[in-house]
Amino acid sequence: MTLGIPGLFPPRNELVNYDYFDIANGVGVDIYYGFSMAGTPGTSTTIISSGMIHTTGDFVAVTNAGTYQEVFTIDFEIIFNMPKNIKGDILAQIPFGVIADGNISPLNFKSTLSVYHYDGSSATQMGSTVSSELREENVVQFEINSHLTMLKVNQATVKHFKKGEILRFTIKVYGKHTAGAGNQDVRGGVGNDPIDRTDAKIELDTATSTELQIIETNKPTKMEFHVPFVLPI
């Protein structure tokens, strides 16, 4: 016999677990880890082993203009399988680095982070692009210069994501110099290993026969994205 009593067995909300909470701002935060499998970037909510500890671009000829030139770009994406609302500070821990195919004094390099809502046809930027800049003196050929930075993008209003829509993190690395006339070849990249292994000389650059490494030995290679979701309270 069926009991026709409304509300006797109310539907249950989906169980949602967050890595940590910011109760004052009414959000639960999930951590996503960047990885690379066969050169294809992705994200995971679990600590897994990346196929490649780092991802790098090709050498780019940076002119002696004293202005930044892009040497590397990569996108990491999260596809939501249910509707989500994001509001607050999006944090990104990014290990990034550069190497130069020559001696440069000085070399400035920086990473930038831009966050986008992608609906399948167009991308809308969330918050503003943020950056972290460093300067190295007396850089020698194939010397690794890297840094672990924390960048924050603020999404001031609620941003709604429908099922199947994408949260995209665009990371770029730039270099600039004033080290005399001519171009200086600079290569940029990021560390993207969720289990945080030390970077190694595992990629052979056929142009120079030099095994490349983009993050300094024994420095962190874990990439993290902390995403604040609005709590249903």
Q: Single out the residue of 113, 147, 105, 154 nearest to residue 131, CA to CA.
A: 113
Alpha-carbon gap, residue 188 to 60, rounded angstroms: 9
Q: Tell me the pLDDT tens digit for each residue of 173-193.
A: 999 998 876 789 999 999 999
Give DSSP secondary structure letters for 91-127.
EEEEEEEEEESS-BSSEEEEEEEEEEEE-SS-EEEEE
What's the confidence (pLDDT) of residue 179? 81
Kind and range of the H or E element at 130? strand 123-136
Indicate the SS3 state at residue 24: helix
Q: Tell me the pLDDT tens digit for each residue of 21-80.
A: 999 999 999 999 999 998 899 999 999 999 999 999 999 999 998 899 999 999 999 999
pTM strictly above 0.75 = yes
The average confidence (pLDDT) of the chain is: 90
pLDDT confidence bin for 1, thresholds 50/70/90: very low
Indicate the SS3 state at residue 179: coil
Which one is the CATH code of 27-230: 2.60.120, 2.20.180, 2.60.40, 3.40.50?
A: 2.60.120
- Asked if 99 and 145 count as a contact pair (C-beta separation under 8 A), the reply is yes
Phi, psi of 165 (to 5 degrees): -80, 165
pLDDT confidence bin for 209, thresholds 50/70/90: low
Alpha-carbon gap, residue 218 to 123, rounded angstroms: 37
Phi, psi of 24 (to 5 degrees): -60, -35
